[in-house]
């Protein structure tokens, strides 16, 4: 199935309803395309009526003679009366048109971004593909402690006090725990600034309408967000949520592309429906810090950029010397806006398995269409292709560092690349 960059243009949907229906179903989302096309037909009919009424009103206005002219008084009166009637009728039809347009937009918003052709059709994460690995899983000669036990032993993670202050799924990072995070930040800056990324500190609250434009509130996505209805604002779940809309309603010159940003910010997530062992420690928390990458590129350049962002994520974890695997998501585990997504999963000795630590996605022109972000190519305005990827989502790399570098006495070796930031080679019990 081939879907071009006009895939969510209503014209393309009219011409390829079956493709869009199947692409949505492949993501586990049922869409009534026929109903959407019926609404679209009503919208086009009403729009045609409105256009005719506007032309008739303008014609009637032109036929009215100038004030003070004696001749044609009767005709003038008729045209004035006709103009009034047309105005009333036009207002009625414009109101109906606006209502149908809103209904059409609401239904269009429910259509997910179709997956790219190279993405495997599958139901859930069990059908994702491992495409490569780095290093063999860490083999310890003793029973491994989990990250929370290590963190408490070394006095670098304090969940108990955070629970007392903020409730469940919060944590204090302290001593070398805090220094590890600052070190990861500095490492990411060192690598990414050399690649031409523009550093940003973004707002952490965005408008609800902006989050909706990104495509994260559909299909139950809003259940994982901290929403503030009183102010019509949402706390971001990643810096991407504030970075991508930076160019909302803008037209960028082609010569200024690609544009690459990196941002460091808190991330807020409800983690609704996550229970059991994953809620222990700092694996799934309501607040953590994150370094995010976002790229804006021209049409057709997103595949190349996707490979670049993934290579940068891998470079960072290779510098930490952490065993990992790269996983390509199938359609059922892809998410609403993504057309293709890769995860890096780091080895976690205490769980004896790999766990996600970063992800990187191309959303093609899905978000730029919804947020009206374009670039000027000659005399033509085209929609930007947008990509996002995690450099470090602080808490999970720290888990991987602690568990993979632990010693039998509970001390932890600091990765060589971070030692200059932490100020020591070994984190020991205080």
Helices (H), 279-428: 302-320, 366-371, 395-404, 419-422
Q: Catalytic annotation on 260?
A: no
390: tokens are 């995690």
Q: Which entry of 57, 284, 340, 370 is annotated as an active-site residue?
A: 284
268-271 contact pairs (CB < 8 A, 24+): 268/204, 268/225, 268/226, 268/235, 268/236, 268/237, 269/224, 269/225, 269/226, 269/237, 270/223, 270/224, 270/225, 270/226, 271/169, 271/224
Q: Which entry of 57, 145, 260, 269 is annotated as an active-site residue?
A: 269
Q: Catalytic annotation on 223?
A: no
Q: Catalytic annotation on 269?
A: yes
Contact 84, 64 (CB under 8 A): no
Q: Which of 352, 361, 377, 295 is nearest to 328 (CA)?
A: 361
Q: Which entry of 350, 359, 361, 368 is annotated as an active-site residue?
A: 359
Cβ partners under 8 Å of residue 125, min gap 6 = 329, 330, 332, 333
Q: Which entry of 57, 370, 396, 403 is annotated as an active-site residue?
A: 396
CA 295 to chain centre: 12
Contact 346, 138 (CB under 8 A): no
Catalytic residues: 269, 284, 356, 359, 396
């Amino acid at each position: 199935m081939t879907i071009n960059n006009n895939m969510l243009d209503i014209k393309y949907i009219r011409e390829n309803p079956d493709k869009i229906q199947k692409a949505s179903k492949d993501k586990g989302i049922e869409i009534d395309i026929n109903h959407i096309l019926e609404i679209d037909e009503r919208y086009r009919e009403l729009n045609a009526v409105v256009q005719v009424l506007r032309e008739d009103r303008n014609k009637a206005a032109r036929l009215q003679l100038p004030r003070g002219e004696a001749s044609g008084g009767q005709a003038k009166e008729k045209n004035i009366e006709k103009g009034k009637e047309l105005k009333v009728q036009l207002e009625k039809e414009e109101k109906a048109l606006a209502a149908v347009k809103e209904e059409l937009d609401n239904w269009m918003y429910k259509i997910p971004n179709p997956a790219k052709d190279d993405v495997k059709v599958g139901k859930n994460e069990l059908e994702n593909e491992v495409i490569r690995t780095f290093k063999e899983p860490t083999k310890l000669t003793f029973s491994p402690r989990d990250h929370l036990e290590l963190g408490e032993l070394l006095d670098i993670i304090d969940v108990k006090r955070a629970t007392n202050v903020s409730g469940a799924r919060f944590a204090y990072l302290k001593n070398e725990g805090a220094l590890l995070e600052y070190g990861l930040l500095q490492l990411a800056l060192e690598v990414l600034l050399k690649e031409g990324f523009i550093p940003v500190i973004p707002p952490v609250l965005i408008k609800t309408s902006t989050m909706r434009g990104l495509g994260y509130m559909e299909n139950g996505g809003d259940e994982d967000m901290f929403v503030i209805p009183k102010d019509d604002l949402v706390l971001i779940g990643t810096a991407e949520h504030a970075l991508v809309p930076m160019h909302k309603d803008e037209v960028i010159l082609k010569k200024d592309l690609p544009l690459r940003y990196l941002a460091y910010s808190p991330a807020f997530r409800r983690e609704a429906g996550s229970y059991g062992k994953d809620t222990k420690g700092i694996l799934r928390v309501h607040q953590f810090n994150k370094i995010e990458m976002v790229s804006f590129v021209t049409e057709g350049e997103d595949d190349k950029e996707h490979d670049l962002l993934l290579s940068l994520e891998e470079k960072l974890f290779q510098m930490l010397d952490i065993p990992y695997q790269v996983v390509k998501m199938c359609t059922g585990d892809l998410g609403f806006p993504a057309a293709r997504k890769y995860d890096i999963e780091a080895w976690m000795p205490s769980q004896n398995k790999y766990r996600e630590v970063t992800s990187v996605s191309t959303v093609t022109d899905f978000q730029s269409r919804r947020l009206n972000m374009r670039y000027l190519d000659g005399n033509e305005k085209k929609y930007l292709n947008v990509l996002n990827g995690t450099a470090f989502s602080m808490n999970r790399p720290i888990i991987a560092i602690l568990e993979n570098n632990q010693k039998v006495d509970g001390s932890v070796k600091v990765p060589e690349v971070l030692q200059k930031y932490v100020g020591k080679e070994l984190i020991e019990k205080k």
